[in-house]
Amino acid sequence: MSAQPQPRLTPEEYLEIERAAVDVRSEFYDGRMYAMSGGTHPHALIALNLGAELRSALKRGSCVVSGSDTRVRVSPQGLYTYPDLAVVCGEPKFADGRNDTLVNPILLVEVLSPSTEAQDRGFKAQQYRKVESLQEYALVSQVEPRVEVFRRQAGGSWLFSEAVGMDSVCRFESVGAGIALAEIYSKVTFESGEPGGRPSAGA
Q: How many whole angstroms separate alpha carbon 26 and alpha carbon 6?
A: 16
What pLDDT does residue 6 have? 64
Kindly tell me if the per-residue pLDDT of 101 is higher than 90.
yes
Q: Which domains does the chain have, with CATH numbers?
A: 39-184 (3.90.1570.10)
Q: In what order do the strands lie in the sheet with 63-66?
A: 63-66, 85-89, 107-111, 136-140, 146-152, 158-164
Q: Shortest CA distance to 72 belongs to which of 9, 137, 119, 157?
A: 137
Q: What is the tens place of the pLDDT at every residue in 4-30? A: 456 799 999 999 999 998 888 999 999
The answer to whether 47 and 102 are in contact (CB under 8 A) is: no
Q: What is the tens place of the pLDDT at every residue in 157-191? A: 999 999 999 999 999 999 999 999 999 999 998 76
Per-residue confidence at 200, pLDDT binned at 50, 70, 90? Answer: very low
pTM (2 d.p.): 0.89
